[in-house]
Amino acid sequence: MWLSFLWRSPQKLRVVPETEASHGPSVGELAVSKTPKITGMLPVSRLRRRGLVAAMYHWITCLFITTLVLAQLLGAIWDTSTSTTHVKYGRNPLLGSYEMVGTNDVPYADRVIACVRRGTYYEPRLVSSLLASEGVDAILEDSTGAARHGYRLVQRRVNSATDALDSTTAASYRVSCDLIASTLDAILGACSSLGYANLTRDYLRVVDHVDSQRLFGLPDSLPVLIMPYWDNAAQARHAVPTWDGDACIFRLEDAYFGAASGIADTNKAMASFRGVNQTVRQQRTIEWLGRPGGVWRNGWYEEGGERWYSDVTSSMSGA
């Protein structure tokens, strides 16, 4: 038989320890065994405090989960919009045609850039430095003038293999080259949707001067020519030559340059492609020149023994 004795106080609960005793059985008696039991003492105030802490924990957890659920529901029904404004250089095309002042838009060989594969990354190189290494970095593919699937450049001095971008500009274009490489299929697809067919997809080709007939291939390069508006400028337009003689002209913006520019802008997370369709570009060029009947060759418009390069942008806001 287990015997225990309890007593109460207003503040504490205590079990009285028992001692062990043993009596030998005899006639008319029962054997009694007692084992000591020792229990701790917990104040009522501590029990209440623990209850309050547990209740607060459960309420906070419940509120947190409820907040998460409501945030998901609001995110599904609450639309957000983001607007982007791009800075444009030059005069409003609605004012009519005009001659470019200066040489900021000229595709000089020692200004334009090719993205050349170097191991696991693409390095931005001035095309003049590649042309200076003829037979190695630049391979002559045609010298008759029959080829039309490159982009014609302008020479302002003798090419030099030591031509290089400024370090800051090179870092920016290294980011651009890597992103162009990873989004090349999307870029070519965008050009196709603008009406440009037979795009060169293997590597970049250029004609080395305004009056030259020599077309060079740049092995291990991306088929996208980067044409900064001025020397070492971060702002640029881009071209992908076609086998038919024209070139898809467009602009790559935001993430293509934002990661290295240091500009804090949420839109820099987006890789933006901006261009006009082929029909508009060709028609506007011929209209402004007033020289119909010409042909497109190596990215330029040719008529009557003269050549022009064309850069058409939309006058629509945000286009």
What is the average per-residue pLDDT within 290-304?
95
* Residue 235 covered by a domain: yes
Q: Judge whether residue 90 has pLDDT over 70.
A: no
* Residue 211 covered by a domain: yes
Q: What pLDDT score does 99 carry?
A: 64
Q: What pLDDT score does 258 carry?
A: 56
Q: What pLDDT score does 204 carry?
A: 98
Q: What pLDDT score does 86 carry?
A: 59
* Residue 190 covered by a domain: yes
Q: What pLDDT score does 75 carry?
A: 74
Q: Judge whether residue 259 has pLDDT over 70.
A: no
pLDDT for 126-139, tens place per residue?
999 999 999 999 99
Q: What pLDDT score does 261 carry?
A: 45
pLDDT for 26-82, tens place per residue?
444 444 445 455 455 556 666 677 778 888 888 899 998 998 888 888 777 776 666
The mean pLDDT value of the chain amounts to 81
Residue with the larger pLDDT of the pair 91 and 53 = 53
* Residue 160 structural domain: 104-308
Q: What pLDDT score does 264 carry?
A: 46
% residues pLDDT > 70 (the chain): 73
Q: Judge whether residue 252 has pLDDT over 80.
A: yes
* Residue 266 covered by a domain: yes
* Residue 32 covered by a domain: no
Residue with the larger pLDDT of the pair 50 and 247 = 247
pLDDT for 176-189, tens place per residue?
999 999 999 999 99
How many folded domains does the chain comprise?
A: 1
pLDDT for 120-175, tens place per residue?
899 999 999 999 999 999 999 999 999 999 999 999 988 888 899 999 899 999 99
The band of 254, judged by pLDDT with boundaries at 50, 70 and 90, is confident
Q: What pLDDT score does 26 carry?
A: 47
Q: Judge whether residue 221 has pLDDT over 60.
A: yes
* Residue 27 covered by a domain: no
- The region of weakest confidence among 98-102, 139-143, 278-282 is 98-102
% residues pLDDT > 90 (the chain): 50
* Residue 200 covered by a domain: yes
Residue with the larger pLDDT of the pair 9 and 103 = 103
Q: Judge whether residue 2 has pLDDT over 50.
A: no
Q: What pLDDT score does 260 carry?
A: 44
* Residue 57 covered by a domain: no
Whole-angstrom distance, CA of residue 314 vs CA of residue 252: 15
